[in-house]
Amino acid sequence: MTSEFAIRRLGTADLGAMRALNALYAKEFEDPPSYPADAPDDDWLRRQLGRDGIFALVAEAEGAVIGGLTAYDLPKLEQARSEIYLYDLAVDAAHRRRGIATALIAALQHIAAETGAWAVFVQADYGDDPAIALYTKLGVREDVMHFDLPPRPRGRGDESGTSP
């Protein structure tokens, strides 16, 4: 195992690396159904990796993806600024405690500065002590609640009072 790694942002030609990153997420999050199942086709991945507001960064060593993150630019409407949401971050268990996660986040912070983003924010789950410790070391903690609201088609039983 080498101690050297390189961080880079994926682009439209990096489908193999993106698929490797999704496989790493599935393994490290112990959630195979969410990542390789129903994997997007090459055209979908190329389009997403070509978007300015999607950031897929990988840490590579000896030609293998050993860590990575996925983040999204969220333009705001109340002020002329955006925030970057760090959505997924994982490092292969065999390569942890080498500064890879910190280096990935630093690279994202540089991108945030270059693009004029106001902040980078990330969520952590209660009980994920390593993630909480890392994010606490790097930023300011806010205790918030997260809710997943399912999509709801218009029509039958729609009492929201809104119109199209």
Q: Where are the domains of the chain?
A: 6-138
Q: Tens of pLDDT along the chain (164 residues)?
A: 446 999 999 999 999 999 999 999 999 998 877 776 678 999 999 999 999 999 999 999 999 999 999 999 999 999 889 999 999 999 999 999 999 999 999 999 999 999 999 999 999 888 888 888 888 888 888 888 778 888 999 986 656 555 55
Distances (CA, A) of 86 to 14, 22, 63, 120: 20, 15, 24, 7
What's the pLDDT at 158?
A: 57
Q: What is the pTM of this model?
A: 0.85
Q: Using CA atoms, how far apart are residues 64 and 49, in angstroms rounded to an integer?
A: 19
pLDDT at residue 157, as a whole number: 60
pLDDT given at position 161: 57
CA distance 138 to 118: 16
What per-residue confidence (pLDDT) applies to 82? 95
Left, alpha or beta for 62 (phi > 0: left; psi -120 to 50: alpha)? left
> One-letter amino acid identity for 147?
F
CATH 3.40.630.30 assigned to 6-138: yes
What is the pLDDT at residue 43? 97
Determine the Cα–Cα distance for residues 23 and 92; give it in Å rounded to an integer: 10
pLDDT of amino acid 89: 97
